[in-house]
Amino acid sequence: MNVGMPNREELSEVTKSEPATLFNKEHAASYDERFARLAPLKDSLHLLIRILFSELPERARILCVGAGTGAELIALAQAFPGFEFTAVEPSKPMLEVCRKRAAEMGVALRCTFHHGYLHTLAASEPFDAATSVLVSQFLVQRVDRVAFFDAIAQRLRPGGLLVSADLSADLDAEESRGLKDFWRNMLLYSGVAEEQAGRFLEGWKGDVAVLPPAEVEGIIAEGAFAKPTLFYQSLFIHGWYARRAG
Ligand SMILES: C[S@@+](CC[C@H](N)C(=O)[O-])C[C@H]1O[C@@H](n2cnc3c(N)ncnc32)[C@H](O)[C@@H]1O
């Protein structure tokens, strides 16, 4: 699975954790290949999202926030030929790869591609469901993360489904120790250089907020969702679904 983190050594001095700079042209171009050996992990998450979304109407409208290069959008579009998608993505290079891949897969006509953040997306009919895969972790301030989920909730119909996946753990807890070694081995297996794999925790500092699962659940629920259900875990990656309250 693409664990989402660019190699900071490739980034310039002025780079901050802004998506437009973190997910720059070089990162976008190599995003899908970089962790290709871990693709089955992502595939299993997508499989579960497909099963979850099979309850949706035939012509469901899906909001993909932080669509990146289109991984979950394409997995869903291929499985559900009646669904329509709106991809929201602040990094232009990532969105351009998404647009190209959607065209290659023959699903682009059912997609709207929005370059920018969710609050800049024009008002529309409510969506039936939303995805946010490895996105909210980049909002390091809790208040911003709550607002992120609240903004998604406002775009959904009541009872609409959210799927959100993020890095999540109590990194200081004893039980995380084994997972840190496991994660490092996973990076080595995927082809990351030994030195870089050994420093992955440093790479997370400042750019991502890796919070314990209960805290992430609290943040999602504060954003106008009913209690989230944890349905997926692979090492530090956790996936939840939740319904818009009311
Ligand atoms: C790790 S990638 C995940 C992409 C895709 N969801 C996947 O699973 O392959 C995170 C994406 O979220 C985008 N992003 C970061 N912050 C965002 C925000 N506040 N709103 C929407 N997208 C954001 C980044 O530009 C990047 O493309």
How much is the pLDDT for 193? 93
Quick one: pLDDT band at residue 3, thresholds 50, 70, 90? Answer: low
Average pLDDT over every residue of 184-200: 93
3-state class of 22 per DSSP? Answer: helix
Of residues 246 and 53, more confidently modeled: 53
Residue nearest to atom 1 of ligand 1 (CA): 4
Share of the chain above pLDDT 70, in %: 93
Backbone angles phi, psi at 158, to 5 degrees: -55, 135
Average pLDDT over residues 111-125: 97
Q: Which of 19-23, 50-54, 71-75, 210-214 has the lowest mean pLDDT?
A: 19-23
Site residues for ligand 1, CB cut-off 6 Å: 2, 4, 19, 23, 65-68, 71-72, 88-91, 94, 117, 133-135, 138-139, 148
Separation between Cα atoms, residue 177 and residue 37, nearest integer Å = 24
- Ligand 1 atom index nearest CA of 67: 6
Question: ∠ CA 20-24-26 to the nearest 5 degrees?
Answer: 175
Q: Residue of the nearest CA to atom 5 in ligand 1?
A: 68
**Residue 10 clears pLDDT 60, i.e. is over it:** no
**Closest Cα to atom 21 of ligand 1:** 66
Give mean pLDDT, residues 148-167.
98
* pLDDT of 121 higher than 90: yes
Atom of ligand 1 nearest to the CA of 91: 25
pLDDT of residue 185 exceeding 60, the answer is yes
Q: Are strands 237-243 and 156-167 parallel, antiparallel or unpaired?
A: antiparallel
Given a cut of 90, whether residue 188 has pLDDT beyond it is yes
Q: What is the pLDDT of residues 217-239, one digit of tens each?
A: 999 999 899 999 999 999 999 99
Residue 192, SS3? coil
Whether residue 157 contacts residue 85, with contact meaning beta carbons closer than 8 Å, is answered with no
pLDDT of 127 reads 98
Q: Which amino acid is at 61?
A: R
Burial class (CB in 10 A: 0-12, 13-18, 19+), 174: exposed
Residue 14 pLDDT greater than 70, yes or no? no
Give the residue from 105, 93, 133, 107 showing the smallest Cα distance to 1: 133
Which two three-digit tokens encode residue 99? 């647009």
Distance 68 CA to ligand 1 centre (A): 5
pLDDT score of 208 more than 90: yes
| Structure tokens, 124 | 């529309």
Residue 8: pLDDT band (50, 70, 90) is: very low
Shortest-distance atom of ligand 1 to CA 5: 1
Residue 15: its pLDDT value, please? 37
Instruction: Look over the chain and give the mean of its residue pLDDT values, rounded to a whole number.
Output: 92
pLDDT of residue 1: 53
State the angle between helix axes of 213-222 and 142-155 in degrees (0 to 180), rounded to the nearest 10: 50
- Alpha-carbon separation of residue 158 from 122, 147, 161 (angstroms): 19, 18, 9
134 CA → ligand 1 middle, Å: 6
**Ligand 1: distance of its center to the CA of 30 in Å?**
15
Q: Among 23-37, 133-147, 151-165, 196-210, which is the least confidently predicted range? A: 23-37
Nearest CA to ligand 1 atom 11: 66
CA gap 80, 21 in Å, rounded? 33
Instruction: Give the pair of three-digit tokens for residue 140.
Output: 């390091």
Q: Report pLDDT for 22.
A: 79
Q: Ligand 1 test: best mutation among 73, 135, 164, most atoms within 8 Å of CB?
A: 135
Both tokens assigned to 202: 């440093």
